[in-house]
């Protein structure tokens, strides 16, 4: 159905960080917002994306933010970093989705909602802000899944008809690879910090992580992903069965999650 070689070819096609974004991220790591904004200015598409996002109702800034310096200052280091990665993910999203019934706009809404709720979790739990980028990175999983299964949608539908298979299980059984590994490969290509990659990998909920410092954030992120994938638009897009939800993995943080996210 799909071979590791075919997946390897796909991963090779994922572009590395463009120079402007790479430099901007480097400056952000040093806390130099102004220089980071200046570096980002070299990529007009990125600036256009950032303007659209930060001036949306979701961010609720009172004044329209027009120039890169304003945008970066308003966002702060970690949120800016998060949006740079979100842009990278956004830029590799297909124009026409083949497996999920999504478009750029629909995916953008999902990604934004996922990132914003994750921000709330990170700030409420006082998790190190560097992990704010985790949701943006994790959302790349849907793009990878779409790229792998777009041409095989009818075969997948037939297989899914014979059992409650998620795409990750199908992928693992045919290629011995899992989405968490593929997302981690892409994240490494984009120089994402190793502990952020580790958090994202754990948040796929495949293995118990008790004892690991990142375990609690991983449980929250896993739960949050499925909160987002349970929204009508994502259900409609067929994204609810992207990976397997692990209720046991998330159970220890469920009550707290409900409080933070406001699930009633």
Partner 1 sequence: MRPIVKKQRIAVFTPQGFLDGSSATGLITMQDMEMTRSTGVQMILVSMKKVVFFNKNGITILLDTLMKLQKEMKATIGFCDYNRKQYEAFFNLFEGEIPFSLFKTLDVAMLFAGGTDSKKDGEENVLVFNEDSTQRSMQAIEIYDRGYNPVVVQTREEFNQRAQECDKFVEKVDNTYLGFMGSKIAAKTRGNCVVYYLKGFLDGSVTEQFDVMYHQNSLKVGFQLFMFDATRVSSLNIHAANFFSRLSTAGAEYGALIAIVGLDMEKTPKAFVEELEDAGIMFFDTETDFFTDEIVQSMTGGGSSVKKERNKLTKPVVAKLPVFVEAAMGTLQMMTNMVAIKGDMKIQPFVAAGEDLMASSVAFYGDIEGMVTLAMPKKLVQKSCMLLVGEESDDDEVLSDALSELVNIVAGKSKTVLQEAGVNINITLPRSYTSMDDLSATLNGLQGVQVNFSFDQYPFTFYLSP
Site of interaction with partner 1 (CB under 8 A): 1, 3, 152, 154-155, 157-164, 166, 169-170, 173-174, 223, 226-227, 229-233, 235-236, 238, 240-241, 244-245, 247, 250-251, 254, 258, 263-264
Judged by beta carbon, residue 152 or residue 189, the one nearer partner 1 is 152
- Cα–Cα distances in angstroms (integers) from residue 35 to residues 21, 88, 105, 111, 200, in the given order: 12, 20, 30, 27, 28
Any idea which residue has 């102004």 for tokens?
34
Least distance from C-beta 232 to partner 1, angstroms? Answer: 3
Least distance from C-beta 226 to partner 1, angstroms? Answer: 3
Judged by beta carbon, residue 51 or residue 231, the one nearer partner 1 is 231
Which ranges in the chain belong to alpha helices (H)?
Answer: 4-13, 19-29, 33-40, 44-54, 68-75, 77-92, 104-124, 134-138, 140-149, 153-160, 167-175, 179-189, 194-202, 215-229, 232-236, 247-250, 254-261
Judged by beta carbon, residue 72 or residue 179, the one nearer partner 1 is 179
Least distance from C-beta 233 to partner 1, angstroms? Answer: 7
* Assigned token pair, 134: 């985790």
- Rounded to the nearest 5°, which phi and psi values hold at 129? -65, -20
Judged by beta carbon, residue 173 or residue 188, the one nearer partner 1 is 173
* Assigned token pair, 55: 């001036």
Least distance from C-beta 164 to partner 1, angstroms? Answer: 4
Instruction: Kindly report the number of other CB atoms within 10 A of residue 194's CB atom.
Output: 11
Least distance from C-beta 5 to partner 1, angstroms? Answer: 11
Judged by beta carbon, residue 9 or residue 258, the one nearer partner 1 is 258
């Amino acid at each position: 159905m799909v071979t590791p070689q075919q997946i390897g070819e796909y991963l090779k096609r994922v572009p590395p960080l463009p120079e402007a974004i790479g430099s901007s991220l480097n400056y952000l790591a040093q806390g130099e917002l102004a220089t980071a904004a200046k570096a980002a200015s070299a990529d007009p598409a990125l600036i256009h994306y950032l303007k659209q996002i930060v001036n949306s109702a979701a961010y609720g800034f009172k004044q329209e933010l027009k120039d890169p310096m304003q945008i970066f200052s308003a966002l702060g280091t970690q949120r800016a970093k998060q949006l740079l990665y979100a842009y990278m993910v956004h830029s590799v999203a297909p124009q026409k989705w083949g497996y999920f019934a999504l478009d750029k706009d629909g995916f953008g809404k999902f990604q934004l909602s996922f990132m914003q709720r994750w921000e709330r979790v990170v700030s409420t739990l006082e998790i190190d802000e560097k992990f704010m980028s985790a949701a943006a990175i994790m959302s790349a999983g849907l793009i990878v899944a779409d790229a792998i299964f777009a041409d095989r949608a009818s075969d997948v539908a037939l297989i899914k008809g014979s059992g409650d298979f998620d795409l990750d299980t199908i992928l693992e059984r045919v290629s011995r690879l899992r989405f968490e590994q593929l997302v981690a490969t892409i994240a490494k290509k984009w120089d994402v910090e190793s502990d952020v990659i580790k958090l994202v990998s754990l948040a796929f909920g495949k293995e118990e992580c008790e004892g690991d410092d990142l375990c609690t954030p991983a449980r929250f992120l896993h739960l949050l992903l499925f909160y987002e994938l349970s929204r009508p638009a994502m259900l409609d897009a067929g994204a609810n069965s992207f990976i397997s939800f692990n209720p046991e993995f998330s159970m220890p943080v469920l009550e707290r999650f409900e409080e933070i996210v406001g699930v009633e």
